[in-house]
Amino acid sequence: MFKNVLVAVDGSEHSYKAAKLAGGIARNLGADLWVVIAYDPVPGYLGEPYLQRAISERMDHAEKLFEEAKQEIGSITGELHTEILEDDPAEAILTVAKTRNVDLIVMGTRGLGKLKGMLQGSQSQKVVVHAVCPVLLVK
Ligand code: ATP
Ligand code: MG
């Protein structure tokens, strides 16, 4: 049914739950899985060596998140890929969904945001509105 599943990981508990569920779905359906990790743009005004340092710190952090996500995903028979992008998270998710022909997006309802009063995060809200495939929000 689903052949290309995307899971969005920001290091939050919700996103690791999403990774676990996406792994289970991919395993059961023999689907390929794309792990998307977006990081904040590096400010252009940073000169060297700070610019390179800021970029490599973000990449190291993203690699760490991917390693943790892999633990949750477990082994799958399809291919496991990661896309690490410097972009607004929802934009990154929607871009990868489009370019990789994703047919299911799995993400957390909430993420790392501090506004506990909000029922749903802004990124999951934006993806639900703009995605052209089903979106599974994990609580
Ligand atoms: P807000 O960011 O609006 O303050 P929040 O952090 O609680 O609120 P969202 O950012 O919408 O909520 O997070 C919902 C889900 O979106 C996360 O569980 C994760 O799956 C995905 N997500 C959020 N940020 C990123 C990111 N930087 N990279 C990849 N996925 C992300
Ligand atoms: Mg957030």
- CA atoms 53, 54, 56, 57: torsion sign: positive
Give all domains of the chain, ordered by start, each with its CATH number: 4-138 (3.40.50.620)
At 55-77, the pLDDT tens digits run 999 999 999 999 999 999 999 99
CA distance 92 to 75: 25
Instruction: Give the Å distance between the CA of 82 and the centre of ligand 1.
Output: 17
Instruction: Give the Å distance between the CA of 8 and the centre of ligand 2.
Output: 11
CA distance 43 to 99: 26
| The pLDDT of residue 100 | 97
Cis peptide, bond prior to residue 49, ω within 30 of zero: yes
Q: What is the pLDDT along the chain (139 residues), one digit of tens a residue?
A: 899 999 999 999 999 999 999 999 999 999 999 999 999 888 888 888 888 899 999 999 999 999 999 999 999 999 999 999 999 999 999 999 999 999 999 999 999 998 776 788 999 999 999 999 999 999 9
**Nearest CA, atom 9, ligand 1:** 121
| Token digits of residue 44 | 């252009």
Instruction: Give the Å distance between the CA of 117 and the centre of ligand 2.
Output: 14
CA distance 87 to 3: 25
